[in-house]
Amino acid sequence: MTKTSRPSLSRPAPPSSGVLFDELLVVMVQQGDRRALDRLHMRWDTRLIRAAYRYTGDADLARDLAQDCWIGIWKGIAGLRNPARFRSYAFAILHRRGASHVRSSIRDRDHVEELSQETAQTASQDGRIAIQQAFAALPPDQRLAAHLHFVEGLTLAEIAEVQSIPTGTAKSRLFHARRKLKAALNPDCFEGELP
């Protein structure tokens, strides 16, 4: 009998070429290369806007939040000690600035109610809208955790770092978000299970 070796679970996967390229761009930005900052912006702006949209539920607010995030990235990138951590760094800035946006938007209840009414009226037209509506119904912290995991592919440890929480809390947020999303998208399967 031959014994097959199993890969070590503690060994991280090698970084992808995109991650390595981002790391190189960060180093170049830290050395003062303006074109590298433009290239980093081109690579990441859409992702940050998409994450901001999940966080705010409003396209205009998402663009504003992403722009505000870029200001924070630009101001702090020189102090980023590990350029390989750019992804977590960028989403952490988005989370902090997004929390401020969410707090201010909560004060404006009329706007939030108007968005949910518009979304509810068109939900039956398209499956994507149903998913957007399900995401919008999540609490902001769960919504961001779900977006970072399902859309951006961040690990639990990276989500915990972005949201400045323990890994167990990130796992819990992701678990509850997943459960609520499943229930919202297929309510017959969860009838009576959720409050």
Q: What does the domain layout of the chain look like in residue ranges? A: 17-107
Local confidence band at 104 (pLDDT 50, 70, 90 cut-offs): low
Spatial distance between the Cα atoms of 63 and 69, rounded to a whole number of angstroms: 10
Local confidence band at 149 (pLDDT 50, 70, 90 cut-offs): confident
Q: Where is pLDDT greater, at 162 or 104? A: 162
CB 136 within 8 A of CB 144: no
Q: Is the pLDDT reported for residue 103 higher than 70? A: no
* Token output for 8: 């070590």
DSSP, collapsed to helix, strand or coil, labels residue 192 as coil
Q: Where is pLDDT greater, at 127 or 169? A: 169
**Model pTM score:** 0.60
**pLDDT value for 191:** 45
DSSP state of 33: -
Report the CATH fold assignment for 17-107: Rna Polymerase Sigma Factor; Chain: A (1.10.1740)
Spatial distance between the Cα atoms of 98 and 78, rounded to a whole number of angstroms: 22
Exposed, middle or buried, 115 (CB in 10 Å: 0-12/13-18/19+)?
A: middle
Average pLDDT over residues 63-68: 90
Spatial distance between the Cα atoms of 40 and 27, rounded to a whole number of angstroms: 11
Q: Where is pLDDT greater, at 193 or 23? A: 23
Name 78's Cβ contacts closer than 8 Å, sequence gap at least 6.
Answer: 30
Local confidence band at 16 (pLDDT 50, 70, 90 cut-offs): confident
Spatial distance between the Cα atoms of 118 and 114, rounded to a whole number of angstroms: 6
CB 158 within 8 A of CB 87: yes
Range scoring the smallest mean pLDDT among 9-13, 59-63, 93-97, 150-154:
9-13
**pLDDT value for 90:** 92
Which amino acid is present at 185? L
CB burial string 24-39: b at 16+ within 10 A, e below: ebbebbeeeeeebbeb
CB 31 within 8 A of CB 10: no
Q: Is the pLDDT reported for residue 150 higher than 50? A: yes
Query: Mean pLDDT over all residues of the chain?
Result: 79
